Amino acid sequence: MTAHDPQQAARSNAPTTTYLYDACDAAFVRERVAEFRQQVARRLEGAMTEDEFRPFRLMNGLYLQLHAYMLRVAIPYGTLTARQMRRLADIADRWDKGYGHFTTRQNLQYNWPKLVDVPDILEALADVEMHAIQTSGNCIRNVTADHFAGVAVDEMEDPRPTAEFLRQWSSLHAEFSFLPRKFKIAVSGATHDRAAIKAHDIGLRIHRNDRGEPGYEVIVGGGLGRSPFIGKSLREFLPREDLLAYLEAILRVYNRFGRRDNKYKARIKILVHETGIEEIRAQVEAEFAAMDRAPFKHDAQEFARIAGFFAPPPYESLPAESLALEDAKRADAAFKAFAEINVAAHKTPGYAIVTVSLKPIGGVPGDATSAQMRTLADASEKFGFGELRVSHEQNIILPHVKKEDLYALWRMLGAAGLATANAGLLTDIISCPGLDYCSLATARSIPIAQAISRRFKDPERQRLIGRLGIKISGCINACGHHHIGAIGILGLEKKGQESYQITLGGDPSLSASIGELLGPGVTADEVPDVIEHIVDFYLSERQGDERFIDTWRRLGHARFKEVLRREGEDGADI
């Protein structure tokens, strides 16, 4: 038993570690809501046709799905305060069905809002400095960042000031709101890439030059979808002061020359692929040289103003190790498992980063009920300066928890069904909503994730297997990022039947690679069997602590294909 009982009153530790709106930001978001309210009214009166209305509702996060509208709320760079999380819960209760779905792009989706309610929902978001701006549409989307920003041990610089700078620059951009296709930017400032920057239209990696000045490697043309590409380096080092001008140059080249004849070939990755990175670089550099860069000159004062909001919270001076934590681990095996799997190293002694898994065994990946959201908000206030993060793995992060509080936090989470010890393990599956919700989907994804999760529910077995990412998409648009899963699953429709293609060897990090196809598609029922065969083969072949991806790289794809063929001949029918 620790001194920190979950029932005790919350500490008064107001959130200090994320951007707060000034009067200009607040006015902008309110004006946006008012504009959208007018647009909904004009749509209903017939002043706007559905075709005319569509891009504007999309740029306010509103999709028309299979059964209903879906509203996608932006969580810029994945950072949330407790107050904001509570508001998300309130919206889920008042205007939706009491839950929300956290996505692979650090957004939150409501699956059942009514069109006429959406302006009120946006107003409720604006009250807590949130919005749904540019979470969809052919524009610069919500800018994402490393979910361990500011606390990771391998971080050179917090990527969030850059991301917030870009959020403002890209909001209602006069020139770049009607692009050939959507445009996604991700920022990382650490050695390990947790933001999948090579799978974005632009990935920015913060690093320093020989003189120690901060700048960016600019990676362009990554993306998944039906033609997956790993991004290519456009500039190894771009000084910070040139960031906005250089992005304007890239976007202008893309806006002018990106394909508009075929929506499936309209992303910048296709332009880069068809034109060649050398030629694109020449065009971007020419535009960069020709433009008047004075208006885009880096404003160090403004950058410092923004960066100031992301200052570290008032940490206590603590010993690196906590005796209470070690005692609790010895006393409680289930907690020990959680502490070893879901807790990551923090750069401040005595603190830890906790991943709260939204992947309970057999659950819907990324879903959280309003009650769970409130528990997370309470937990963050009680144990973590009132701050939360959303990861692109569809989990919630509590970024600043004292090691001595971990046991109390774990019990609090457990009571809300939020203590699943599987972060990064096989059952921490990334999945798109699939045919259960999405009008683009060709197959179900959630039931596949649930079946695999149940098959591998034994925690000991999961731990034995170790870190292994499974990613599932219900169509070739690849919202579940299957191309970059160590094991990727793509649901298609073949002659009226769901058919699942399995790929191996995908990698979302800086050593990025696209998965390779294992063989012909299999039925939904067969997927767990195939995964099991692959995993068993890996376990029999791996050397030491070798990760799945490394065993696969060492043995080669053919060996894995062979296993499945052999199993098939043995009568396993796959």
Partner 1 sequence: MALISDGKFVENEWRHLADEEDLPKSGKFIVSHKRLGEAVAALPADTPLGVIVANTTDPAALAPYFPRLALIAVAFPAFSDGRGFSLARLLRRAGFTGELRASGRIVADQSVHARQCGFDSIEIPADLAARQDEAQWRGALEAYSGFYQEGYGAQGSILDRRRKATS
- Cβ of residue 210: shortest distance to partner 1, in angstroms? 30
Interatomic CA distance for residues 574 and 471, integer angstroms: 20
Strand pairing class (487-494; 470-473): parallel
- Cβ of residue 227: shortest distance to partner 1, in angstroms? 22
- Cβ of residue 16: shortest distance to partner 1, in angstroms? 20
Residue 484 contacts residue 456 (beta carbons within 8 Å): no
- Cβ of residue 142: shortest distance to partner 1, in angstroms? 15
Place of tokens 């692959």: 534
Nearer to partner 1, 38 or 209 (CB): 38
Nearer to partner 1, 302 or 326 (CB): 302
Nearer to partner 1, 38 or 191 (CB): 38
DSSP state of 60: T
Nearer to partner 1, 275 or 453 (CB): 275
Strand partners, 493: 498
Residue 10 contacts residue 382 (beta carbons within 8 Å): yes
Interatomic CA distance for residues 243 and 296, integer angstroms: 8
Interatomic CA distance for residues 525 and 288, integer angstroms: 53
Q: Where are the beta strands (DSSP E) in 307-395?
A: 343-345, 351-356, 367-369, 387-390
- Cβ of residue 141: shortest distance to partner 1, in angstroms? 15
Nearer to partner 1, 33 or 522 (CB): 33
Nearer to partner 1, 4 or 181 (CB): 181
Nearer to partner 1, 237 or 257 (CB): 257
Backbone angles phi, psi at 101, to 5 degrees: -125, 120
- Cβ of residue 189: shortest distance to partner 1, in angstroms? 22
Nearer to partner 1, 286 or 333 (CB): 286
HSE-up of 359 (CA within 13 Å, CB side)? Answer: 34
Cα–Cα nearest to 140, from 252, 291, 13 = 252
Nearer to partner 1, 25 or 532 (CB): 25
Q: Reading across the β-sheet that carries 202-208, which strands appear in turn?
A: 144-145, 185-188, 202-208, 214-220, 232-239
User: Interface residues with partner 1 (CB under 8 A)?
Assistant: 22, 24-25, 27-28, 31-32, 34-35, 38-39, 42, 46-49, 52, 55-56, 138, 168-169, 171-179, 252, 255-256, 260, 290-292, 294-296, 299, 301-302, 305
- Cβ of residue 181: shortest distance to partner 1, in angstroms? 11
- Cβ of residue 387: shortest distance to partner 1, in angstroms? 25
Backbone angles phi, psi at 109, to 5 degrees: -115, 135
- Cβ of residue 103: shortest distance to partner 1, in angstroms? 24
Backbone angles phi, psi at 354, to 5 degrees: -110, 130
Alpha-helix runs per DSSP H in 418-458: 446-455
Strand pairing class (367-369; 79-81): unpaired
Backbone angles phi, psi at 526, to 5 degrees: -80, -20
